[in-house]
Chain A
């Protein structure tokens, strides 16, 4: 598979603070790539370097095999960008803004007009096309932001925290639009909201303090994570002695007891399952519930971030 974005040993410091620390990543063409990290982890700085707004201290960035050189605008045709806080001209209407955005790429009006209609329909702003942006909600502005990022029919769109400031409805709407772009254009988007990444991304990178902690496909990340959650509930008591027995087991990573419920995280699911069920049988306990839950991306994220704390 071809690579849309390649970053090698990217470094950016602001005074004593190292915002991006020897970052490496590869974004496959056509993928939806999640750029995940807590606030202040270097996501926006990386994106700004990718779009040529900030100069890296060292390292290399390539977009579709072409080197991104700070101050050179040649790569702009290939990208669409939505910053974390998009500043629109409030006096313009949505349609005027898209026309203005298209004209900055010198797109022929005969191509631009149908494209604008198509984009307005895609982001659900057809009815508000002739309304002033100043009266738009945050969600509408973000949807318009995605439309303007797509106006030049780019090969990749880079979205910086596109849903962070939105309410649940606005978030859902924007995430659905991003999800619809799958296969049509490469999407590289940063966020600290794990549920969004899990829902639509093919691959993900987790960064903290400008360093990559984990980079893989969502499926592989789930598979490689050894830890599993087990939830058990007893019908006839015996929770406390059972909990005490569990505490002695090396495969138990964490344990919580709530009345007749036991929640535990295990390192080796196979051994845990066998030994737990054997013990239950030996003790004559009656199980009401025994559920094995996959770790969520949140679990993996917290684990990865804490491991490097």
Chain B
């Protein structure tokens, strides 16, 4: 099912080409910035407006996490998605795919290893950013946990898995890495727009970004969270299967 040698190559490649380092730096940077901006935003705004006195509510650790999820779901996820969309398209454009697929690597092995490789890279970056964000939140707010933190993190991780499947699909159907990146970004924009439909976020595979806000504000139910988790997982499987369906018949 999984070609361990090819998976190892995927991980090693992300290190050798500095892809994972760039992503790690980005994820960690925004983890730090999220806590800092949440803690010092009031002071920053007060400094900027000298004529009028603005009173803000005292920031809490939930503001830090809200900022963290906002940054991670936008900038970090987009950069990861764009990097990941090149995964198959680059191999096709470069011709390296021929050297792999003519050996004892089935097309499923190839694609599944790419998918798992992507999930591993995302998970490492995400885990690092959670640790850093937790640490900074603890330092700045004397605490880091809130009710539903575990579920929020899990929902977000599952959304990352789903977008990995989206990236693989976009990469399979595209001839060039540029087209794949544009398709991936278009898919991200589409799923983000779906979140604006009221009450739809739990059925949206990218609904985690809206649901975590509700969790932070105490307005989300366990059932909607579980529905979102299941929908995202199923959507990831369907998206990967669709990609494999195309890839299986694709002439290289």
Contacts and interface: CB of A to CB of B under 8 A. Distances in A.
Interface of A: 48, 51-55, 71, 73, 76-77, 79, 81, 83, 85-89, 91-92, 100-101, 103-106, 148, 152
B221 interface: no
B214 interface: no
Interface string B1-44: 00101100100010011000000000000000000000000000
Contact of B17 (A52, A54, A88, A91): A91
Nearest to A160: B98
Nearest to A55: B251
Given A76-B102, A100-B9, A104-B3, A91 B95 contact: no
A52 B252 CA distance: 9
Main SS at interface, chain B: helix
B179 to A, nearest CB: 18
B248 A83 contact: no
A53 B101 contact: yes
27 contacts: A48-B252, A52-B102, A53-B101, A53-B252, A54-B252, A55-B249, A55-B251, A73-B104, A73-B105, A73-B106, A76-B104, A81-B98, A81-B99, A83-B99, A86-B98, A87-B91, A87-B95, A87-B97, A87-B98, A88-B99, A89-B13, A100-B5, A101-B99, A104-B100, A104-B105, A106-B5, A148-B99
B198 interface: no
A51 B102 contact: yes
Contact of B103 (A88, A92, A101): A101
Contacts of A81: 98-99, 102
Q: Which range contains the number of B residues in contact with the other chain?
A: 20 to 34
Contacts of A86: 95, 98-99
Contacts of A104: 3, 5-6, 100, 103-105
Contacts of A92: 16
Contacts, number: 68
A50 B36 CA distance: 60
Given A79-B102, A81-B102, A100-B9, A54 B251 contact: yes
A86 B99 CA distance: 7
Given A55-B251, A77-B104, A104-B103, A83 B5 contact: no
A103 B96 CA distance: 16
B184 to A, nearest CB: 22
B5 A53 contact: no
Nearest to B107: A71
Contact of A87 (B5, B17, B94, B248): B94
B65 to A, nearest CB: 37
A152 B106 CA distance: 16
A152 B99 CA distance: 13
Contacts of B102: 51-53, 76, 79, 81
